[in-house]
Amino acid sequence: MNPTPSTPTPSTASSASGKPKLALYWAASCGGCEIAVLAINEKILDVAAAFDIVFWPCVMDGKVRDIERMPDGGIDVCLFNGGIRTSEQEYMAQLLRRKSKVLVAFGSCAHEGCIPGLANLSSREEIFQAVYGNGQSTENPQELRPQVQTHTPEGEILLPYFYDTLRTLDQTVPVDYYLPGCPPEAENIWKAIEAIVSGKLPPRGTVLGPTTTVCDECPRKRSEKKIQQFKRTWQTVPDEETCLLEQGLVCCGIATRAGCGALCPRVNSPCIGCHGPNVDVPDFGARMMTALSSVLDANTPEEIERILTEGIPDPVGVFYRFSLAASLLRRSRLRKKEVGPGGNGGNGANQPTGSPAVEKASAARR
């Protein structure tokens, strides 16, 4: 089960069929990354010409069995999007890690959890309650919940086990490269593919993108900032020239890795941080908080708290919209009954015969 330690230099040497093998997979994601791959338009034909696409469940038929039968390292490049929320996704992450020479965390979900990671503010039971219990369009008087194991006359039926906490790909298996963005922009995808094809790859562990922030790509005029009030996007129509932060909007461009060309600020909408933190930043939200504190124009606790309560009623959602799962704290605190082996969020399988081998294989990077 152990992911094969990768060789130090990535190689996309030709396989027997002459072309390097490419796999694309999705886990806990929305499907936008799959569409983003197609957004490179006609260049997808170049991808098909350069690679032998062996596995891409979203667009073509393929069987997990065929991947399992491949030799370890048999896939040259795997673009993996989505976070890890279920046992099945963790299994696929381990499988594709083992079979791939180069594993790319593709898009914000695999990179840092993204929107699915915001559900780390809830426990499994709370999520199930919202989805299968008291959802507005849900009628479930018997309080049915998905079961990991169901006995039927024909035999056992298994469903994946749903985790309390969504993990990023690199908290699950070692990752070679990261392509940021929700979704990654077409030109950045193409640049990454070109780099892979030509073998001109940076050191392993690199996020494929610039090492500066969105502010550097933003054409708006900036001056010294003094913020007396944070406004929410529906409360104001910002002028189109001045820095959005100066106009009181929480623009995450100050902390977000560049590479998008400041797409959102250019259309009068604040950056929401989908490219994640800049290089060497362990916690995106910490950067946001420390930067905003410097420009807040208030010097008493009461005044500060008033500005924050009125302007940022959901601090985790604002500071960690894309990066909660990858942040230092990873999730909100679970209540007592939910912590540790005692917790059973109505997901009903037998308790644990934990195998150290499996645990080791899935040990988080940090």
Partner 1 sequence: MTHPNGDSPNPEFEPKLIGFLCNWCSYRAADLAGISRIKYPPNMRIIRVMCSGRVDPTFVLEALAQGADGVMVAGCHPGECHYIEQNYKTMRRFYMLRQMLLQMGLEPERFQLVWASAAEGQQLADAVSKMVEEVRRLGPLQWPANWQENGQRLHALQAIVQEHQQAMEVSR
User: What does the binding site for partner 1 look like in residue numbers (CB under 8 A)?
Assistant: 1, 64-65, 68-69, 87-88, 90-91, 121, 148-149, 158, 160-161, 163-165, 167, 282-283, 285-287, 289-290, 292-294, 296, 298-299, 301, 304-305, 308-309, 312, 314-316, 319, 327-336, 339-344, 347, 349-355, 358-359, 362
- The nearer residue to partner 1, 48 or 349, going by C-beta atoms, is 349
Q: Closer CB to partner 1, residue 76 or residue 164? A: 164
Cβ closest to partner 1, residue 5 vs residue 341:
341
Q: Are 179 and 189 in contact (CB under 8 A)?
A: yes
Q: Which regions of 21-60 does DSSP assign to beta strands (E)?
A: 21-26, 52-55
Which residue, 91 or 132, has its beta carbon nearer to partner 1?
Answer: 91
For the bound state, the minimum distance from the C-beta of residue 13 to partner 1, rounded and expressed in Å, comes to: 28
Q: Other C-beta atoms within 10 Å of 269: how many?
A: 14
Name the minimum Å distance from CB 292 to partner 1: 7
Q: From the CB of 224, what's the least distance to partner 1, in Å?
A: 15
- Report, in Å, the least distance between residue 286 CB and partner 1: 4
> Kind of pairing, strands 206-207 and 177-179?
parallel
Give me the helix-helix angle, 186-198 and 43-50, nearest 10°: 20
Nearer to partner 1, 129 or 188 (CB): 129
Q: Taking the complex as a whole, how short is the minimal distance between the CB of residue 327 and partner 1, in angstroms?
A: 7
Asked if 248 contacts 292 with a C-beta cutoff of 8 angstroms, the reply is: no
Contact 324, 117 (CB under 8 A): yes
DSSP 165: E
Provide the token pair at 223: 């001056």
CA–chain centroid gap for 317, Å, is: 15
